[in-house]
Amino acid sequence: MIRVKVITSNPGKLREFQSELSGLGIELEHLKVEYKEIQTDRLENVVRHGLEELKNRGLDNFIIDDSGLFIDSLGGFPGVYSAYALKTLGCKGILSLIEGEKDRSAHFECCIGSSISGLGDIITCAKAHGTITHRERGDSGFGFDPIFQPNEDKRTYAEIPLDEKNLISHRGRAIRSFYRLLEERMERS
C-alpha cells in the first residue's frame, strides 16, 4: 500500500480526496505544509510551481490542488485569488460585488498535481459551470459553496450531500480524472 500525503490546510478537501480515491489501495494522510503560490492567472501554473517547490524541499508521495471561483461579470475574479478573497471578503462580499448584475455566470476550476515515487508527476484540471446565487444557501461544504449553484442542479454546493456533490463538482471531476491517470500508471509499474 502506498501512503500519500494530501497537502492542504482545508480538511474539507481531504474528505473529498478520501471519498474518491479509496478504491486505489492508497492510504491518504493529511499534511499541512506552506508553499509559495505564485501570482499567475492559471491554476495549473500555481500547481506546477508548487510541485517543483515541494519536490526541491525533499517531499515525495504527495498530492496538492488549487481551486478557484471564476465569476464572468468580474472578469474572472476571484480566480487564483479565491482563498484570499474568501478570507477578506467572504461570500457576503462577493455577493455585494455582483449585486444588481444580470450576468451571474461563473465556474469553479480545480487543478490537482501529484508526485509519487515510481509514478512520476501527474497534473489534471477540471471545471464545473454554474451561477452565483443572490444569497447564501446551505450549510454543508466550505468556501464559496453556499453561493455557487452548478448548472446540473437547483441547489448550491452547500445544499448538496458530499457524495452527490462529488459527482458534479470541479474537484470531483478533477479527482476522477486524477484517479484514472494514477490507476494507469500504477498498472504499468
Q: Which of 60, 65, 66, 72 is catalytic?
A: 66
Residue whose C-alpha is closest to residue 149's, from 92, 44, 71:
71
Q: Is 72 a catalytic residue?
A: no
Catalytic residues: 66
